[in-house]
Amino acid sequence: MANSYYASGGCSNLPKEMIVKRKGKIQKFTEEQGWSNLPDELLDIISRKIDFVSFFALSGVCKNWRRFYGNYWGEFMASQAEPLLILKSPLLAKEECSFFSISESKGYKLLLPIHKGEMESSDEFWKPFLWFSSGYVIMQSTLKIWLINPFSRKEFHIPTESPCQVLYTQSNLVPSFDHAFLSFVVNSEDFLVLGLSNMYSSNVFIYQSRSSNWVSYSIGENQSRITDVAVFHQTVYAVTTKGTIGKLRLSFPNFKVLELKNIPKNYLCDPKLVSTNEELLVIDFILNKSLIIYRIDLSKKKWVRVHSLGDRALFVGKFMKGYALSNPSKWGYESNCVYYISHLHSECCLYSMDCGPMRTVRCLYSVDGPTRTVHYYGNAATSGHTHYPMAWCFPTIRDEIDYSLHI
C-alpha cells in the first residue's frame, strides 16, 4: 500500500476472497461484495500486518476504512515507537507536510486539517519553522500558534496576543519563536506551550490553557542564553550556554537555579536537553567538530560525563525537541549513536560514539529541491541544498507535567 517514498492507498493487492469468523459464524467476503464493506474483524487483521505508513494510507481508501482508522489509530500508535522525520513544505503549501522513515526509506505527504482560507489570510505571516512535540505539529503565524495532531486530526489554536502584557517584551505580543514545545498536564487535557526566542534568550514564554494567558519566565541575570527545555519526571528543566540548569516554578517569575558540581568550565555551544525514563542528558554538539554528552545527576547534584550510550540512540537537532530511543535496532537504527538534523542543509547525519565524537559516519537523508528527492551519502554532508524545516517525530511520546511539582 506504499511505494518507495510516498504512501498511497489502494486495494489492488488484496486477495479475491477472504474468510473470517464473526460472532461464532464463518463468513466469506469476496471482491464482488466490495472491499469498502469489510467488517472491523478483517480490518483489524489487515492493520496488524502493515507498517506505520501503510496504516495511515488505510484511512484514505474509503469511508468505512477511515472510520476504522479513527476508532483504532490510538491502539495502533501505542504499538509504534519508530522515529520519523517530519518536513514542512514550502511556503506555497503551508497546509502540507511530509513524514519519512529513514530505516524503511518510506514517506508520505500529509494535508494538515487547516482551512485553506485561514492559511492564506493576508493578516498572517507564517514563520518558516515547524516543530513536533507530544504528538502535535506546532506552527506559528503572527496571529496564532497552531497545534495539530496529524494522526487524530485534533487541533488547538492559541492567540499570540495575551490579555495582559507579556513580561520583558514591552507589549502584549509574544515574540517569534525559534523553538516550541508542548506538554500536557497529568490526568488532564490541559496543556502548556513553551517557546524560546533568540530575541529574548534568557526567558521561556509559557502559555497555560487553564488561564489562556502567556507568561515569561526568566532564568535570572548573568546566566547566559537558554538553549533548550525538557520534561523530566513530570518537571520542566532548562539549560543555558553557561551550564546553568533551571527548574520551572509556575508561581514564581524565575526558574530555580540548581546548585550543581562539575559544571563544564567552558561555555557550552548549543546544549540540548534530552530526557529518558531515568536520566536527564545534556548534549553539546558542534556540527562536524565535537560531540560531548553529560548526565545531570540530580540526586548527587553534579554533572557527569557520558562516554557511551549503551543500547540507546539519541535523536536531536537545532531548534527542535530531542529524544532517546532504547533498543534502536528493533526499528532499524544503530545503538550508541546520535542522529542529528542539520537545519542549515536540511539533512540528517549519524554520529557514532564508538568511532569517536568528531567523526561523521554518514549522511542518511537530505532534501534537494521541490521534488524532495532522497539522497544517500557515504561521507560528510554536502552543502547547497534547499532549506526545508525538519524535526523528529516520535508519534507515541507525550510529555506530561505535574502542577504540584512546579510550585
What is the 3 state secondary structure string of 329-354?
A: HHHCCCCCEEEEEECCCCEEEEEECC
User: pLDDT higher for 295 or 24?
Assistant: 295
Q: 61 and 87, same structural domain? A: no
Judge whether 99 lies within some domain: yes
Q: 353 and 264, same structural domain? A: yes
Judge whether 3 lies within some domain: no
Q: 257 and 230, same structural domain? A: yes
The number of folded domains in the chain is 2
What integer pLDDT is reported at residue 311 of this predicted model? 94
Q: How many CA atoms lie within 13 A of 292 on its CB side?
A: 15
Q: 47 and 172, same structural domain? A: no
Tell me the percentage of the chain whose pLDDT exceeds 90. Answer: 28
Q: 284 and 141, same structural domain? A: yes
Structural domain boundaries, residue 394: 81-406
Judged against a pLDDT cut of 60, whether residue 33 lies above it is answered with: no
Judge whether 380 lies within some domain: yes
Q: 313 and 274, same structural domain? A: yes
CB 6 within 8 Å of CB 371 = no
What integer pLDDT is reported at residue 90 of this predicted model? 47
Q: 88 and 49, same structural domain? A: no
Per-residue pLDDT of 221-254, as tens digits, reads: 676 789 999 999 999 999 999 999 999 998 888 9
Domain boundary among 58, 76, 94: 76
Judged against a pLDDT cut of 80, whether residue 323 lies above it is answered with: yes
What integer pLDDT is reported at residue 14 of this predicted model? 46
Alpha-carbon distance 238 to 226, whole Å?
7
Q: What is the CATH number of the domain that holds 102?
A: 2.120.10
Judge whether 375 lies within some domain: yes
Q: How confident is the model at residue 126 (pLDDT cuts 50, 70, 90)?
A: low
Judge whether 11 lies within some domain: no
Q: Which range among 58-67, 291-300, 395-404 has the greatest average pLDDT? A: 291-300
Across the range 154-175, mean pLDDT stands at 66
Per-residue pLDDT of 199-229, as tens digits, reads: 778 889 999 999 998 988 998 767 678 999 9
Judge whether 2 lies within some domain: no
Per-residue pLDDT of 64-122, as tens digits, reads: 888 887 787 777 766 666 777 877 654 444 566 777 777 777 776 776 766 555 555 54
Q: How confident is the model at residue 183 (pLDDT cuts 50, 70, 90)?
A: very high
SS3 281: strand
